[in-house]
Structure 1
Amino acid sequence: MKPMNQSAGEAMAIELPSMSRRKLLLGIGAASAAAAVAIAPDAHGAAADQAQGFSSDQSENPDLIVAYQKFNDACVQLEEARNSLEWLADEWRHQWPLAPEELLLGANAQDGRYTMPAERDIIGRYVVRDTSGLTKRLAPKFRRENRKTCFVLRMAAEERDHLKRWKRSTPTGRTEKALARNRAYRIKAIRECELRIQLADHYEAETARLRQVSGADAARLRVRDADILLQKAADEVSKCQACTVAGLAMKADALTVTAGALMKITKSDESPLGQIARFIESVAEVAGRVSA
């Protein structure tokens, strides 16, 4: 077992999703292009107007330009909040302890398959740890086939409930030998439960202390608030009417940033959702080329 005070820096933490810088730069470029359309529509020339299918006197909706600028500001704010959170994780990585082996339960918790809490780092990412040293509870075959994984954790409160049940239990047996064996098993289970409670109390107290002194909880709240602000800004963009290709680029960009994961899942689907996702992606690509 690795000591409780050993850093979790040796473990691999799954990264939080971050805002695509390419999308951010594309968005700023689209906003600049839209502003140019709105302020000086004649500057594009007749050839550009013909290629885009718009008359030379067409300008972008100023409300959309303002909303999209707010969206860009929200993108920057979220990116800064996420960068600060990841910087904090790097700063505190080597002080964050790995959970004691006695507290580890189900493996592959990084897949989100369990309802119980999984081992995480100081900013809430799954900790995918090396299994080679976990010889008390993992078979050699499992360690060979699963070099790194994330575990579900036994928590102090849950272990206290187990301890109460064990203490209330009354061993039985059909024979004196069976009764003695069950009594010994009960005593052993109670002692192991008490040890896990002690370890869990210490681990939970130390990780809570580190989150507090590092400001990790506050940093995570800033990311959450920035993400909420971004969603609201994207919604405002979606409610504004677009009058030019640059305006369509703004609306498509806002949607791909906030609904990118959903679009990735559905764009190969044959349903209307897939058709919508592919259309939005095409608009973003075409409008991005025109605005470049």
Structure 2
Amino acid sequence: MKPMNQSAGEALAIELPSMSRRKLLLGMGAAAVAVAPDAHGAAVGQALGFSGDQAENPELIVAYQKFNDACAQLEEARSSLEWLADEWRHQWPLAPEELLHGANAQDGRGTMPAERDIVGRYLIRDTSELTQRLAPKFRRETQNTCFAICTANEERKLLERWKRSTPTGRTEKALARNRAYRIKAIRECELRIQLADQYEAETARLRQVSGADAARLRVREADILLQKAADEVSKCQACTVAGLAMKADALTVTAGALMKITKSDDSPLGQIARFIESVAEVAGRASE
């Protein structure tokens, strides 16, 4: 079974600026400043180099409106995907214990595909029932985890290698033991192939009848649209503090994960991340 593209499922974790905040910024940016701003807004604007009577760049307002619409589309697509995941949760099969490999697959460091739910998120399992392959000590210490799973295709490759192998042994006893081990390995491999074929067929069927793949594609497309809209906002010149807040919101969407990772660094990336965060905070307070 091919590992599913994960961008749609992982897009559920992206944070978006709130709808009410975006509407407020749009309203502030769209209005030409004909009256004196409040003292706090004027002070912030002057500190950032904006004059108190400037109107916002119309191109930025249009671009931010598109960004606002893209945020709404992504939120709607995510909600639909969450609903689908909850609706089909009890019909989604767990992979047979024979197919489970390494634990902690949710870390994303393994080469084998991880077990996932119907919308592609890591499936965290209760280990207390996995008595065939897990030692009691492990089950006590790791009560919940995600496992890597073997696929039918990989098991077929392994089966071919076992069939081509020739047991050897320095003594008759060792040779007999290795021959028995080879036969056992082939039988276990054939069983895993059968189980994997059944599991993969059923999960593929459920993804199709539920519309999960289409729902994930909508999230992925909405995410791409949002990234493009945010990029357009970043290319527009801001003329007011509200406009600067618009650009900060859009940048937070595209660079939020990078900022979280690097803002504590001593490198230039850390300095940039801290600067962006400060600008977003100042612009946000001025627009409240």
Structures share fold, TM-score greater than 0.5: yes
Is contact 2:36–2:53 with CA below 8 Å preserved after alignment? no
Aligned to 1:80: 76
Residue 211 of structure 2 is aligned to residue 215 of structure 1: yes
Q: Which residue, 107, 117, 121 being the options, matches 1:121?
A: 117
- d(CA) in 1 for partners of 2:41, 2:263: 31
Aligned to 1:255: 251
Aligned to 1:34: 29
Q: Offset at 1:44?
A: 3.9
Q: Which amino acid aligns with 1:42?
A: A
Q: Please list, as runs of the form range in 1=range in 2, the aligned pairs for 1:54-73 lying within 5 A after superposition.
A: 54-73=50-69
1:39-63 C-alpha deviation (Å, 9 max, x unpaired): xx12344746742324443111000
Is contact 1:46–1:56 with CA below 8 Å preserved after alignment? no
Q: Which amino acid aligns with 2:182?
A: R
Residue 283 of structure 2 is aligned to residue 287 of structure 1: yes
Aligned to 1:268: 264
Change beyond 3 A, Cα 1:232–1:64: same
Is contact 2:56–2:240 with CA below 8 Å preserved after alignment? yes
Residue 103 of structure 2 is aligned to residue 107 of structure 1: yes
1:175-207 C-alpha deviation (Å, 9 max, x unpaired): 222121111111111110110000000000000
Q: Which amino acid aligns with 2:21?
A: L
Aligned to 1:154: 150
Identify the range of structure 1 (260-269 vs 193-202) with the bigger mean alpha-carbon deviation: 260-269
Secondary structure in 1 matching 2:120: coil
- d(CA) in 2 for partners of 1:150, 1:205: 21
- d(CA) in 1 for partners of 2:241, 2:10: 35
- d(CA) in 1 for partners of 2:52, 2:151: 67
Is contact 1:104–1:151 with CA below 8 Å preserved after alignment? yes
- d(CA) in 2 for partners of 1:21, 1:242: 21
TM-score (norm 1): 0.90
Q: Which residue, 202, 226, 233 being the options, matches 2:222?
A: 226
Report sequence identity in percent.
79
Aligned to 2:3: none
Is contact 2:114–2:122 with CA below 8 Å preserved after alignment? yes
- d(CA) in 2 for partners of 1:63, 1:32: 14
Is contact 1:16–1:125 with CA below 8 Å preserved after alignment? no
**Which residues of structure 2 form unaligned runs of 5+?**
1-8
**Which residues of structure 1 form unaligned runs of 5+?**
1-13
Aligned to 1:241: 237
Residue 174 of structure 2 is aligned to residue 182 of structure 1: no
1:81-115 C-alpha deviation (Å, 9 max, x unpaired): 11111110000000000000000001100001102
- d(CA) in 2 for partners of 1:285, 1:46: 18
- d(CA) in 1 for partners of 2:169, 2:212: 52
Identify the range of structure 1 (185-194 vs 270-279) with the bigger mean alpha-carbon deviation: 270-279
Change beyond 3 A, Cα 1:200–1:150: same
Is contact 1:266–1:274 with CA below 8 Å preserved after alignment? yes
Q: Offset at 1:132?
A: 0.7
Aligned to 2:94: 98
Q: Offset at 1:27?
A: 2.6
Q: Which amino acid aligns with 2:107?
A: D
Change beyond 3 A, Cα 1:27–1:270: farther
TM-score (norm 2): 0.91
- d(CA) in 2 for partners of 1:278, 1:130: 40
Q: Which amino acid aligns with 1:241?
A: Q
Change beyond 3 A, Cα 1:15–1:95: farther
How many residues in Structure 1 have an aligned counterpart in Structure 2? 276
- d(CA) in 2 for partners of 1:18, 1:29: 24
- d(CA) in 1 for partners of 2:198, 2:78: 29
